Structure 1
């Protein structure tokens, strides 16, 4: 029989991965700022046409802009934390599903412990039993 099991994937922080993460964070931040500018532009454009109620329209746009600004703050925090982390630190990257073969007589506790995959610069360097 086969079952699904969640496997944790961790990334070892190297100079290369730190650079890539920093670049990804900055790109995401820039994209969110562009979206805020676009939303402001669209709001002003719709305000001029006067086809929608002013308060409802402004509230919805303000909510969307605030949500993006909050994401920018989170990215700024992640960048600060990344700068503090020493090279060699392990960062939780993602959880994936793995198919595990089980049979009668297997130790259930060993099977349910789970596994962790450790990646260094895109290469699997270790598979750990938790």
Structure 2
């Protein structure tokens, strides 16, 4: 019988992966800044057409901008924490689902235990 099982993928932090993560965070921040600029542009465009209530429009756009600003603050925090982490640290990259084969006589604790895949610079180095 086959079961779906949660698999945790962890990344060992190297200088190369640290730089890649930092760059990815930076790109996400830049994208969020672009989205905020686009929201401001759209708001001004809609205000000129006078199709929406001004207060309703402002509160809606304010909410969208604040959401993106919060994401930027989170990215700043993550970038700060990334700089503090030593090389060799293990970071949880993502959780996936995998297939586990089970048969009569298998120990349930072994089958039920969460599996972990360790990746270093894009190469699987260990499966726990």
TM-score category (smaller protein): over 0.9
| Residue 103, structure 1, aligned to residue 103, structure 2 | yes
Runs of 4+ in 1 over 6 A off after TM superposition: none
Counterpart in the other structure of 1:77:
77
Taking the TM superposition and a 5 Å limit, the aligned residue runs for 1:37-56 are 37-56=37-56
Matches within 5 A, 1:22-37: 22-37=22-37
* Deviation, structure 1 residue 113: 1.1
RMSD: 0.6
Unaligned runs of 5+ in 2: none
Is the partner of 1:52 in helix, strand or coil?
coil
Q: Tell me the distance in 2 between the aligned counterparts of 1:62 and 1:100.
A: 47
Please give the secondary structure, in 2, of the residue aligned with 1:106: coil
In structure 1, the gaps of 5 or more residues are none
Residue 59 of structure 1 is matched in structure 2 by 59
**What SS is found at the alignment partner of 1:87?**
coil
SS in 2 for 1:45: helix
Deviation of 1:82 after TM superposition, in Å, equals 0.2
Q: Deviations over 1:12-65 (max 9, x none)?
A: 000100010000000000000000011011101111111111111111111000
| Structure 1 position 115, deviation (Å) | 1.0
Looking at structure 2, the residues matched to 98 and 45 of structure 1 have their Cα atoms a distance apart, in angstroms, of 48
Count of residues paired in the alignment: 128
The Cα of 1:101 is off from its aligned counterpart by 0.6
Partners of 1:110 and 1:52 lie apart in 2 by: 60
